[in-house]
Amino acid sequence: MGGLLLVLAAAIGIYVSGFPGMPGQRYGAALFPGMIAAGLAACGALLLARGVRAKAPAFEFAPWTRVPALAANFALVCGALLFYIFAAEPLGFMVTGTLLLLALFLKLGVRPLPAVVVAPVAALVIHLLFYKLLRVPLPWGILGFMAGW
């Protein structure tokens, strides 16, 4: 972790040194991020020194990563968000939302029948709340023919 911070700090330092100054002023856009980078470097060095002294392993995995079912849960939550980012526009909110909920429900141990019922209903309720009540333009996607309702 300490090493990681040092690398980050160095990268910021190099990136920031390319910033132009404010005309007529000595203190420009680079000063503040530069100071942050210096601070991060100091912390990184301290953490690194402490880790070396304590002979701690450079990286440790949390216990759940060794339980495949839990690691899969974690991946699925992240995957669900990625899926939404890519599928929301083409498929539309209702379809994407229903699929997202269904996948998570089934993985988290909701029985199939309630899962199949609750997923579309919950997606519909959220859709109505935001689309009708709050006028957020949620994408319709393949259900575009319903938009006029």
Residues engaged in binding other proteins (CB under 8 A): 1, 5, 12, 15-16, 19-22, 25-29, 31-33, 36, 39-40, 43-44, 46-47, 50, 62, 64, 67, 70-71, 73-74, 76-78, 80-82, 84-85, 88-89, 93, 97, 100-101, 104-105, 108-110, 114, 118, 122-123, 126, 129-130, 134-138
Nearer to other proteins, 64 or 146 (CB): 64
CB of 111 to other proteins, least distance (A): 10
CA distances from 142 to 25, 40, 95 (A): 55, 48, 8
Q: Which two tokens stand for residue 124?
A: 């519909």
- Minimum separation from the CB atom of position 47 to other proteins (A): 7
Q: Report the nearest approach of other proteins to the CB of residue 21 (Å).
A: 8
Q: Which is nearer to other proteins, 10 or 47 (CB)?
A: 47
Question: Shortest approach of other proteins to residue 109 CB, angstroms?
Answer: 6
The span from the CA of 142 to the CA of 39, in Å, is: 50
Q: How far apart are CA 44 and CA 6, in angstroms?
A: 5
Give CA angle at 32 (31, 38), nearest 5°.
Answer: 90
Q: Within its chain, how far is the Cα of 40 from the centroid?
A: 23
The residue with tokens 């980078």 is 37
